[in-house]
Structure 1
Amino acid sequence: MRDHIRAMRRDPLLLCLWLALLLFAALWLAPCIFIVFTSLKTFGEITNSGVFEFPKELTFANYTSAWSRGGFEQAFFNSVFISFVKVPLGIAISALAAYALAQMTGRFTRPLFLFFLFGTMIPFQVMLAPIFTLVNSFGLIDTYVGLILPYLAFGIPFQVFILHGFFKTMPKEIAEAAEIDGAGHFTRFRRIYLPIMTPILSALFILDFVATWNEFAMALVIMQNKAMWTLPLGLMSFQGQFMADYGGLNAAIVITVIPAVMVYLIFQRYFVSGLAAGAVKG
C-alpha cells in the first residue's frame, strides 16, 4: 500500500487515474447503498430520515412482504430454471463449436468464423418481431423452450468468438503430441483443453448468467402468461402495483439482484484471467 502511495506522489497521472476510479466507484455505489438502506427501513423511517442514513432499526419485513405480495416465488423459479439450463448448455455448445473452428483448415474456415462473428453484430431488439413470429409458429409461446432457444441463438456467437481466440493461442505442439499418442479430438478436448479452460469458462458463465438473469425485452414478448414470467417481469409488475411502497419496492430490487451477485462472487477470481485469455487474437 505504501508503494502505491509513493508511486502516486511521483506520477500525477496515476494519482488522477486513482481519483477518477474512486469517483466512478462512488457514483456506482451510491444507488446500491440507497436501495439496500431503504429496503431495511420502515415506511415512517423512510419518510423522516436521510437518503443515505443507516437504518436505526434493521427490519426484514419489507423482504417477506415483497416476496409474498409480488408473487416472486414462481418468477424466481422460472429465472433459475431458464438460467441454469441455458447458460451451461450455451457454453458447452460454444466450446465445442469454437474448438471445431480452431481445428478446421480450408477455404471455408474463415467465412464460417465470420458467420459466427456476424451474429455478435445484430442487436436482438430489432429481431423481436421476427423472433415472436417464429416462436409462435412453432407453438412455443409461454414455454421455457421458446425463450431458451432465442437466448442460445444470440448468446453463442459471442462465446464462440471469445473461445475461438483462446483455442488459436494454444501451442499446436500439445495437440500434435496427443494425436501421436492416439488421442482423438474429443479426448484432446476433454483431457487437454477443458482443464485449462476453467478461467475463461468461468468468466463466460458470469457474463452469460447475468445477461440471461436480467434480460427483459425478449422475455416480455415471449412469456405472456404471468405464471411464466421471469424475475425482471415480476419486478416490473410489482413496481406498477406498489410504486408507493418504497421499502417493499427496494426489497424486491435486492431480491432480483442477489442471485447474480452471488454467482459473480463465486466465480470472480477467474473473471479477469478468463477474459484476458480469450481476448488474445489468434
Structure 2
Amino acid sequence: MIARKIGKGVGHGLLILWTALGLIPFILILVYSLRTNTDLYAHPLGIGGSYHFENYVTAWNGPGASAGMINYFANTAIASVVAIMVTLTVGSTAAYFATKLSPRQRSAFTAVFVSASIVPFVLLIIPYFQTYNAFSLLSQPAVIGVTYGVLTLPTTVLVLHSYYADFPHELIEASTVDGLGEFAAFMRIVLPLSKGALTAVGMLALVFVWAEAQLGIVLLQEATSQTVSVGLLGFKGQFTAQLGPLFAGLSIATIPVVVLYLVFNRYITKGIALGGAFK
C-alpha cells in the first residue's frame, strides 16, 4: 500500500514537472512581450522593471510600413479555409467510396496514401516553386491553401477511411431502399453523422497550415502575402533592436492555437488515434 502511494506520488510529481516544463517557456514569452530590451537584459526572469503593452500594437500593425500580425492572420485564415475545404471535400469523398472497393483494391488504395504521407517534405519545395513561378502564382495565400489541402490529404483520407470502414452499413442500405443513390446517401446520411471525424481531420489540417513555414518561405515571397509562421521569421530581422514586439508577435500567434487545442483536443486526439493504424 505504501509503495503504491509512493509510486502514485512520484507519477503525479513527474506529470507536474512535465507540465511546468511546457508552461514556463510560454509564460516567459508572455512576460517578455511586455518588456523593453533594457528590462529584458536587466531582469531576465521578468521580475521588476516596467511593462509596455504597446508592444502588442507594434507587433499587430507591423514595424513602420511593413506587414504586421493583422496581415499574417488574414493570410493564414484564407489559406486555412481553402486548405480545409480542399482536404475535407476530396478526402471525405475518396475515403468513403474507397470502402466500396474489394479488399485487395482497398489495400492498394491505403498503400498509396501511406506512401504519400512519408515522402520527405523538402523534396517537394523545388517542384512546387517551379510550378508556381511558371504560372505566376507566387505570393497568393489562396493558392498555397490549395497546396496545403493536397499535402494534408494523406492524413485526411487515412483517418476518414478508418472511420468509414466501421460506419453502420444498415443506414446506407435503408437510405437506398428509400430511393437515395450512393452519392445522395453519402451527402445526406453519412456526412451529417461524421461531424466528429471531420472536425478531427479539419483541426489537424488547421494546425499544419498554422505551423508550416518551409513551403511558405519559398512560395509567399511578398511580406503582405505571408502567413503567421512565415511572417514571424521576418519579425526576427525587423525587430532586432526591439525584442518586446517580437515576443508579442509570438504570443499573438500562439494564443489562438492553444485556445483551439483546448476546445478541440479530444477531436485531435481521436483523429490521431484513428489514423495511427495505418502508420
TM-score of the alignment, normalized to the shorter chain, above 0.5? yes
3-state DSSP class of the match of 1:40? coil
Please say if residues 199 and 271 of structure 1, whose CA atoms lie closer than 8 Å, have aligned partners that are also in contact: no
Say yes or no: does 1:36 pair with 2:30: yes
Q: Which of 61, 65, 71 matches 2:67?
A: 71
Query: Where do residues 58-137 of structure 1 align in structure 2 (5 Å cutoff)?
Result: 59-68=52-61, 69=63, 71-72=67-68, 73-105=70-102, 107-137=104-134
User: Displacement of 1:88 after TM fit?
Assistant: 2.9
AA at the equivalent of 1:71: A
Please say if residues 67 and 224 of structure 2, whose CA atoms lie closer than 8 Å, have aligned partners that are also in contact: no
Q: In structure 1, what is the Cα distance between the partners aligned to 2:78 and 2:249? A: 19
Q: In structure 2, what is the Cα distance between the partners aligned to 1:252 and 1:141? A: 25
Aligned to 1:166: 163
Shifted more, 13-22 versus 224-233: the winner is 13-22
Q: In structure 2, what is the Cα distance between the partners aligned to 1:106 and 1:268? A: 33
Please say if residues 90 and 152 of structure 1, whose CA atoms lie closer than 8 Å, have aligned partners that are also in contact: yes
Say yes or no: does 1:51 pair with 2:45: yes
Say yes or no: does 1:204 pair with 2:204: no
3-state DSSP class of the match of 1:182? coil
Q: In structure 2, what is the Cα distance between the partners aligned to 1:190 and 1:15? A: 51
Aligned to 2:14: 20
Shifted more, 184-193 versus 128-137: the winner is 184-193
AA at the equivalent of 2:14: A
Query: Where do residues 232-247 of structure 1 align in structure 2 (5 Å cutoff)?
Result: 232-247=229-244
Q: In structure 2, what is the Cα distance between the partners aligned to 1:90 and 1:212? A: 12
Q: In structure 1, what is the Cα distance between the partners aligned to 2:97 and 2:228? A: 36
User: Displacement of 1:159 after TM fit?
Assistant: 0.7
Say yes or no: does 1:187 pair with 2:184: yes
Shifted more, 210-219 versus 144-153: the winner is 144-153
Question: What is the RMSD computed on CA atoms of the aligned residues?
Answer: 2.7
User: Displacement of 1:272 after TM fit?
Assistant: 3.4
Q: In structure 1, what is the Cα distance between the partners aligned to 2:45 and 2:258? A: 23
User: Displacement of 1:279 after TM fit?
Assistant: 4.9
AA at the equivalent of 1:65: T
AA at the equivalent of 2:24: A
Over the matched positions of the two proteins, sequence identity in percent amounts to 30
User: Displacement of 1:52 after TM fit?
Assistant: 5.1
1:97-134 Cα deviation digits (max 9, x unpaired): 10111122375343233212211111221221122122
AA at the equivalent of 1:241: Q
Alignment: residue pair count: 274
Q: In structure 2, what is the Cα distance between the partners aligned to 1:32 and 1:109? A: 44
Q: Which of 220, 223, 238 matches 1:223?
A: 220
Say yes or no: does 1:144 pair with 2:157: no
Q: In structure 2, what is the Cα distance between the partners aligned to 1:96 and 1:18? A: 44
1:161-193 Cα deviation digits (max 9, x unpaired): 111001112233332233223222233223332
3-state DSSP class of the match of 2:152? helix
Aligned to 1:3: none
Please say if residues 78 and 142 of structure 2, whose CA atoms lie closer than 8 Å, have aligned partners that are also in contact: no
